[in-house]
Structure 1
Amino acid sequence: MTELASRLTPLNTELCRDSVSASFHLARSMPASASKTERIQPRALVDRFFEVRDSKPFLFQRSTWKTYLDGKSGLVHSATGTGKTLAVWMGPLLQWMKANKDPGKWNPKRPPGLQVLWVTPLKALAGDTTAAMQAAIDEMNLPWDLQGRTGDTKASLKARQMKRLPTAMVTTPESLTLMLTHERLQPQLSELKAVIVDEWHELLGTKRGVQTELALARLRRLSPTLQTWGVSATLGNLDEALESLVGPANTDDAVIIHGKSKKKTKLYSILPPVIERFPWSGHIGTRMIPEVAKEVEQASSSLIFANTRSQTEIWYQKLLAHRPDWAGQIALHHGSLDTSVRQWVENGLREGSLKTVVCTSSLDLGVDFTAVDLVIQIGSPKGAARLLQRAGRSGHQPGAISRLAFVPTNAFELIELAAAQDSIRDGKLESRPLIKSPMDVLTQHLVTIAIGGGFESSELLAEVRQTRAFESLSEQQWQFAIDFVVRGGSTLDAYPEFKRVELVDGRYVVTQKRVMSNHRMNIGTIVSDASMRVKFLKGGTLGTVEESFLSKVSIGDKFLFAGRLVELVRIDNSEAYVKRAKGAPDAVPRWMGGRLPLSSELAQGLRTKLQQAAEGDYVGPEMKRMRPLLQLQAKWSHVPAANELLIESIRTRDGYQLFFYPFAGRLAHEGLSAVLAHRMSRIEKISFSFACNDYGFVLTSPKPAPLQQALDAGLLSPDRLVADIGESLNATEMSRRGFRAIARIAGLIHGGYPGRQKPNKHLQASSNLFFEVFREYDPDNLLLHQCNEEVLENQLNASRMEDALRRIEGSQVVIREPEKVTPMGFGLLVDRLRERLSSETLAERIARMQAQLEKAATAK
């Protein structure tokens, strides 16, 4: 890859004094110097736009405009709320004004044809983005027509857009891909001047990002002079981000423009009154409600971020119970709530009528709320970049500082915050690992292009190889993809429904209307657990809950949802009917994908902070509060340095416990615990149970495990890791479950039509059938190989497991045999007990254990 460092444009700018989505209150008139018969000066018009707003363009904004006018593409990297939107939006406006300087020829009733496509990762961002862009058009009296096109756009507007596209359009990756299936739009797309991708860091490294890369490559083919720009914040691997955005062949003429990457941010912890020396996951949690309420009281408006939708439901209820006088002033926001509910909450934040909103990452991106002056983070966000992103949701007023208060749910999360602060200070933000050649996305793209006018094999192959994701696509992979969409591959050739694409006069096309309809209804790469709509018996929709949760809820059970306690009355097809309830909930909905993985960068930071503690260096309020806990850990066992692996061997009433502390993250530990248990059982027949968290894992056995013998035999070796994973875990079943997403994206199964979604069990049964057919009759099927690789990486984090073992291989293994469970091991022991005991019994058991351990700690 061409070295990009020489082409970066580092800029030392002041903090932008305005939010790009702030309201514009300028008079809608041309400058006094520009009458309808005079030619305008575009730069002067833009400068006046800023002057009336008592502002000036910042250096990185001017640099972006100049670079754009020079005909280049690029990536703007700047902190949230520093004017990135105006930086990339003004370029196309200036370009058009330079070519059309006579306002007397501007006709708002006949706006220019398509000039700009603005791609946003979330439909929720489209409204705010469109409003900010429209304000600039209005205040400069430009005859541009700006519209949105997402899944929420009215059918009547979409129909009009099919005849004539607006001058600028805000859309999503899915809606953009859907546009590519309409051949009639291609003449207008060929006139496109620029495509801008917002929040590129959120798409990078995902299948939606790959889908966007393929769409951009198609747009560049339709419009060879197209300029591609991206907007990004909180990202480590900027070179790869730029290459993925503009394509590897175009990076020589593309730039990275740095704006204000270090906005003034204040991070601090809301420390609990007492740090218990034997912490467990979630034990602080809602105990901190009074302290959090005090912070909320002092702020004008705040956002309370939780890492899961389940946590938001609980915190909303607890906060409202603590401050019932805030009824109507606090709200709930997460992705499973009905659109109307979310819009009401967002409007309340914009207007400043809400005191606080408990939310998930549904409010992480782009939408700017000027009134918000404090962000409260519940629990560790597991990454420095995510912490900085969330902090940026506050402080959008001129000269304001972004403030984030951190609420630990586990004492050890204080060390995570201390490590994250070090990473932010040193500029060591997480990178987004890229996806290479996902065959399910490619096969979907082939059908998209075949519907949208067709393609010749060699031409489309060359186009696809212009993307970063598929630049090394082999001829074998390409032929597999072609064969798969033409006849379903070697195993499905006998079934007509899988013959979606036909070769007609040298071009691959789709002629069947059924195929077109099914494909357009199922375009996209977002595949989640099947969901059910939750409705009141007397009308009104609350949102959606995943089918897997409702399958475990009985009629009459009460659960928290949308900030209310409801009782399940009945389930009809894909709708669950509820009524309001009183009392205590029987359950809280659990959504898939709720647990955030600990980033590798933050894991390294944790190890560094522990080493400093082991050396007696406690820097910062978080680490100072952890001193008694870590001193007891050192007294009873050991505090591991960054180049050490601590193993604790303890006998308890439940059996023999082996605690391992690699600090590699929960997902990697789940796989490592199974692999190490398997390796020891090969030496001596023994059964293990295990529990994991982000810091380590515990193996429990009814008799002593052959630890030293296993270490001598290569227990911690990275050799044969993949083979041992296959033998120790039910990887085949995990692949079978994971194949459903690939089958849906590749078009083997369909989720149904709007309002008539197929039940999850039907989709899973169908995908299982394809999985077994491919395993038995087509074991070299590339979709099958992709599934196995995704399970290894996404579900088992195999690369992190290998990295951890290679690091451990060069580290010193420290074995201790403490008499009692240590502070570091206590949380793991609780997680193991959690699976066997009810909540009430567990709480009683934990309380007794803590009392006994505290007594022992005090006595010594």
Structure 2
Amino acid sequence: MQNELAEVWFYNQGWTAHDFQKSCWKAISKGQSGILNAPTGYGKTFAIWFGVLKSYYDQQNQLNKPKKKQLHTLWITPLRALSKEIHKATSQVSQDLDLDYEIELRTGDTTTAVRQKQRKNPPQALITTPESVHLILATKGGQDYFKNLEFIIVDEWHELLGSKRGVLMELAISRIKSINPKLKIWGISATIGNLQEAKDILLGEHNKGTLIKANINKQIAIETVFPDNLEKFPWAGHLGIKLLDKVVDIINNYQTTLIFTNTRSQAEIWYQQIITHYPEFAGLIAIHHGSLSDEVRFWVEEALHEGRLKAVVCTSSLDLGVDFRPVDCVVQVGSPKGIARFLQRAGRSGHRPDATSVIFYVPTNSLEIIEGDSLKYAVSNHIVESRIPYIRSFDVLIQYLMTLAVGDGFQAEDILQEVAQTHCFSSISQEEFDQCMALLIHGGTSLTAYDDFHRLELVDGLYKVTNRRIAMRHRLSIGAIVSDLMMRVKFLSGKYLGSIEESFIAKLNIGDVFWFSGRQLELVQIIANDAIVRASEKKKGVIPSWMGGRFAISPDLGIAIRHSFKNIHKKRGVSPEITFLKPLFDEQERLSKLPKEDELLVEYIQTKYGNHFFFYPFDGKLVHEGMAQVIAYRLGNIKPATFSIASNEYGFELLSDTDYEVDDKFLQKLFSPQHLHQDINSGINVQEMAKRRFRDIAGIAGLVFQGFPGKQMKSKHLQANAGLFFSVFSEYEPNNLLLREAYDEVFDFQLEEGRMQQAFERIANHKILFSRPEKLTPFSFPIFAESFRERYSNEDWQSRLEKVKMQLLNG
């Protein structure tokens, strides 16, 4: 199938179309929906875009006169930066080919005046976000806006899939498909483990669609940065900055480098250290993360485009599809926690066909070096994570029903039929839907007495919101992104720098200095939601910590790490990482034992601090935290004891004053997969965890109003209000859908019960190696360091820990 527009434009660029691009154009011309999977930098956008353009102009040519301009395509992206990138690329095509196909942006930055103009006089294509689609549905006549829509394109679908924003997308598509049954839906996705499922969820159960995979093997060069000396007793974060000089050498060897860190705090630290030790980089290096102001981020993105920056220290804020051609090298500081994330970041470099993506892995402690071997194994064997979609997210459904009611209104039975076609709500019952409706109509079983919860009225057969105040509040609350309350950081002059979580600012005193946006700032005063600051010359300052920074290694990376232990025992043909770590493994084996891939090591060590159990499942910090509490509960049942718990990505520690008689039978009983759910409920304060989770659910469902822009409610008030609903539902309505959802999310996402169950079942089939070392081992020391840090948080714990390490080395 020829695509003349594409042929002309590609010819003018001096490009040849890839087979996957031609396949997309052919499928789109046949009226098919589908999903496209191709490496970054190979023209995924144009593979879809020229299919859209051909379809539009074919229709125009079939009409005797041009149609009145109507919205033809909705292109949805998860990030504003990516929206801008798509807008730039597609507008360039219209300009180069002198097309009358208009493309506009609608994001959180779009002014009210522009939005109103877009409503009255729509462009042919609108590039926007999931939240903005729901905002359009929440306006009068919003549904008519989509009645002539031909295409919905969801970019980076894998990124939305494993979140409630993905549920927002499923619901919006279900409505637009009913408005326009001829709608064609296309997704663009990076490689994920469940690509077929991702397609089925996006397109819906009755749309078979097509899956187009690019047959292109993107070359990735992975190199681990080794320290000069191996620390046999490593601890987290200790090594990273020690490799600063080596990272700077990498920066100097390449045109432009992105330095990825896992947290915003880490990004601030690395930026500060580079500028402090290498002041010649001033003006050539920048920082980019999600809490900085739009102005700062846009400047960095433009400077990257134009090749004016030598390096940018960043977080996941630059993970996605933005095309920075000058970037030819990526540095990953610390474990990437997941293979897909590592591949995504590697793909930021060599953003051109046939260019090799270059990524350097910088471990933050000696043991983390092994992940260099694990990542290479995972990449070469095409191991990549699945994205687990949310199901039965009733908070999002309740918000969606309000959105429709604030807009044109809806008939309940029609909407139930539509939402039941989505993956998220395929199991919804009439009774559950009725409970959602009851909560909106009269507050349900528990809240009937309160007028604020009488939100919907039946008007001419349609459920609508007639109260303007309730409608306005709802429009301000649309979305499924939740976080701690953010406080704006401003200079005395009023210049806005970005936002920091209230919980961090609350710990500071006036006059305290902290690092933010790459600057040393002194807190001057707090006015409402603004932290007023001024520049400071003080050398010492704290680094903000953000709650969003906690995530653990993925199950697939865990498999790859356990596989690396297979190589530890080989004599020949091992990777540079395993070779470098050999002295550490030799020391581990000398003091204790060295596990293989299918073995679990348990160490029981007695020190002046007490009796330490160390377990090494290699399942990630979050899973270990849950496992530790279950094991502590089971140990307490054998002999009552009080435990302190510490964990890292590789294992966990239980420390107590109580001595236990340990043998193989004892350990097998501890790790039995039987009665696990019961023991989780008994050993962990699940109710408290559910109560915290409920705050987010209550916010999304509209039970708790988060406040007006710039005047958000304080997080402690939000927690108190949500806690009140949690208590009322727990006492008077234990089957409340939102209450049940809070518990389900705790088990599924916080405790990762499924992964814990798999870990216990795997260990039941493993050999358990039991060891009683006389002192701390290379494996146990990093976990011990975690608990030591907590114990001496107000003292100079680093020098104390260094003394303990020296005793181990000299002992």
| TM superposition score normalised by structure 1 | 0.92
Counterpart in 2 of 1:89?
49
Deviations 1:609-637 (A, max 9, x none): 11221344562211211111112212221
Match of 1:849 among 780, 786, 804: 804
Counterpart in 1 of 2:605?
650
Q: Is the 8 A contact 2:5 2:54 kept in 1?
A: no
Deviations 1:370-410 (A, max 9, x none): 10100011001111111000000011245321110111001
Corresponding letter in the other structure for 1:194? F
Give 1:102 deviation, angstroms. Answer: 9.3
Q: Quickly say closer, same or farther: Cα 1:111–1:288, change in 2 above 3 A.
A: farther
Give 1:219 deviation, angstroms. Answer: 0.8
Aligned counterparts of 1:740 and 1:364: Cα–Cα separation in 2? 28
Pairs within 5 Å for 1:256-405: 256-260=211-215, 262-397=217-352, 399-405=354-360
Q: Quickly say closer, same or farther: Cα 1:473–1:616, change in 2 above 3 A.
A: farther
Counterpart in 1 of 2:591?
636
Match of 2:734 among 770, 779, 795: 779
What runs of 5+ residues in structure 2 fail to find an aligned partner?
A: none
Deviations 1:29-75 (A, max 9, x none): xxxxxxxxxxxx97233211101111111110010010011011000
Aligned counterparts of 1:631 and 1:828: Cα–Cα separation in 2? 19
Q: Is the 8 A contact 1:119 1:171 kept in 2?
A: yes
Counterpart in 2 of 1:141?
98
In the alignment, structure 1 residue 693 sits paired with structure 2 residue 648? yes
Give 1:775 deviation, angstroms. Answer: 0.7
Q: Is the 8 A contact 1:618 1:624 kept in 2?
A: no
Aligned counterparts of 1:364 and 1:288: Cα–Cα separation in 2? 23
Counterpart in 2 of 1:499?
454
Counterpart in 2 of 1:67?
27
Deviations 1:442-465 (A, max 9, x none): 111111122222222221111001
Deviations 1:399-455 (A, max 9, x none): 321110111001222222211211111111100011111110111111112222222
Could you say what secondary structure the match of 1:699 adopts? strand
Which range is displaced more, 414-423 or 721-730?
721-730
Corresponding letter in the other structure for 1:729? I
Could you say what secondary structure the match of 2:141 adopts? helix
Give 1:179 deviation, angstroms. Answer: 0.7
Identity %: 43
Q: Is the 8 A contact 2:143 2:408 kept in 1?
A: no
In the alignment, structure 1 residue 100 sits paired with structure 2 residue 69? no
Could you say what secondary structure the match of 2:301 adopts? helix
Corresponding letter in the other structure for 2:471? M
Aligned counterparts of 1:187 and 1:211: Cα–Cα separation in 2? 19
Aligned counterparts of 2:571 and 2:169: Cα–Cα separation in 1? 50
Deviations 1:206-261 (A, max 9, x none): 100011000011111111000000001131101110011101121x2x01100155
Q: Quickly say closer, same or farther: Cα 1:710–1:576, change in 2 above 3 A.
A: farther
Counterpart in 1 of 2:125?
168
Aligned counterparts of 2:690 and 2:667: Cα–Cα separation in 1? 33
In the alignment, structure 1 residue 673 sits paired with structure 2 residue 633? no
In the alignment, structure 1 residue 521 sits paired with structure 2 residue 448? no
Q: Is the 8 A contact 1:558 1:565 kept in 2?
A: yes
Q: Quickly say closer, same or farther: Cα 1:292–1:839, change in 2 above 3 A.
A: farther
Q: Is the 8 A contact 1:381 1:596 kept in 2?
A: no
Counterpart in 2 of 1:737?
692
Corresponding letter in the other structure for 1:583? K
Aligned counterparts of 2:427 and 2:203: Cα–Cα separation in 1? 16
Q: Is the 8 A contact 2:87 2:104 kept in 1?
A: yes
Give 1:476 deviation, angstroms. Answer: 2.1
Match of 2:411 among 453, 456, 460: 456
Counterpart in 2 of 1:488?
443
Q: Is the 8 A contact 1:117 1:168 kept in 2?
A: yes
Give 1:570 deviation, angstroms. Answer: 0.7
Give 1:205 deviation, angstroms. Answer: 1.6
Q: Is the 8 A contact 1:683 1:706 kept in 2?
A: no
Q: Is the 8 A contact 1:529 1:592 kept in 2?
A: yes
Aligned counterparts of 2:615 and 2:2: Cα–Cα separation in 1? 64
Counterpart in 1 of 2:11?
51
In the alignment, structure 1 residue 225 sits paired with structure 2 residue 182? yes
Which range is displaced more, 716-725 or 779-788?
716-725
Give 1:505 deviation, angstroms. Answer: 4.0
Q: Quickly say closer, same or farther: Cα 1:98–1:793, change in 2 above 3 A.
A: same
Aligned counterparts of 1:185 and 1:786: Cα–Cα separation in 2? 30
Aligned counterparts of 2:384 and 2:597: Cα–Cα separation in 1? 20
Match of 2:771 among 816, 822, 838: 816
Q: Is the 8 A contact 1:680 1:706 kept in 2?
A: no
In the alignment, structure 1 residue 124 sits paired with structure 2 residue 84? no
Counterpart in 2 of 1:240?
197
Aligned counterparts of 1:248 and 1:261: Cα–Cα separation in 2? 29
Deviations 1:759-782 (A, max 9, x none): 111111110111111111111111
Give 1:97 deviation, angstroms. Answer: 2.0
Q: Is the 8 A contact 1:691 1:699 kept in 2?
A: yes
Give 1:807 deviation, angstroms. Answer: 0.8
Deviations 1:88-136 (A, max 9, x none): 1111101122233499977xxx973111000000122111110101111
Could you say what secondary structure the match of 2:601 adopts? strand
Aligned counterparts of 2:741 and 2:428: Cα–Cα separation in 1? 14
Q: Quickly say closer, same or farther: Cα 1:95–1:42, change in 2 above 3 A.
A: farther
What runs of 5+ residues in structure 1 fail to find an aligned partner?
A: 1-40
Match of 2:618 among 663, 667, 670: 663
Could you say what secondary structure the match of 1:175 adopts? helix
Corresponding letter in the other structure for 2:523? L
Aligned counterparts of 2:537 and 2:117: Cα–Cα separation in 1? 49
Match of 1:413 among 349, 368, 383: 368
Which range is displaced more, 231-240 or 302-311?
231-240
Aligned counterparts of 2:674 and 2:756: Cα–Cα separation in 1? 11
| TM superposition score normalised by structure 2 | 0.98
Aligned counterparts of 1:261 and 1:588: Cα–Cα separation in 2? 42
Aligned counterparts of 2:272 and 2:74: Cα–Cα separation in 1? 42
Deviations 1:583-631 (A, max 9, x none): 2334210001202211101101111111221344562211211111112
Q: Is the 8 A contact 2:483 2:548 kept in 1?
A: no
**Alpha carbon RMSD of aligned pairs, Å?**
1.8
Q: Is the 8 A contact 2:41 2:353 kept in 1?
A: no
Aligned counterparts of 2:672 and 2:72: Cα–Cα separation in 1? 57
Aligned counterparts of 1:738 and 1:712: Cα–Cα separation in 2? 33
In the alignment, structure 1 residue 804 sits paired with structure 2 residue 759? yes
Aligned counterparts of 1:662 and 1:333: Cα–Cα separation in 2? 35
Q: Is the 8 A contact 2:29 2:51 kept in 1?
A: yes
Match of 2:566 among 607, 611, 615: 611
Deviations 1:526-547 (A, max 9, x none): 1110010011112311110000
Give 1:670 deviation, angstroms. Answer: 0.6
Which range is displaced more, 309-318 or 680-689?
680-689
Which range is displaced more, 264-273 or 502-511?
502-511
In the alignment, structure 1 residue 158 sits paired with structure 2 residue 115? yes
Could you say what secondary structure the match of 2:131 adopts? helix
Aligned counterparts of 1:767 and 1:326: Cα–Cα separation in 2? 47
Aligned counterparts of 2:547 and 2:177: Cα–Cα separation in 1? 37
Corresponding letter in the other structure for 2:569? A
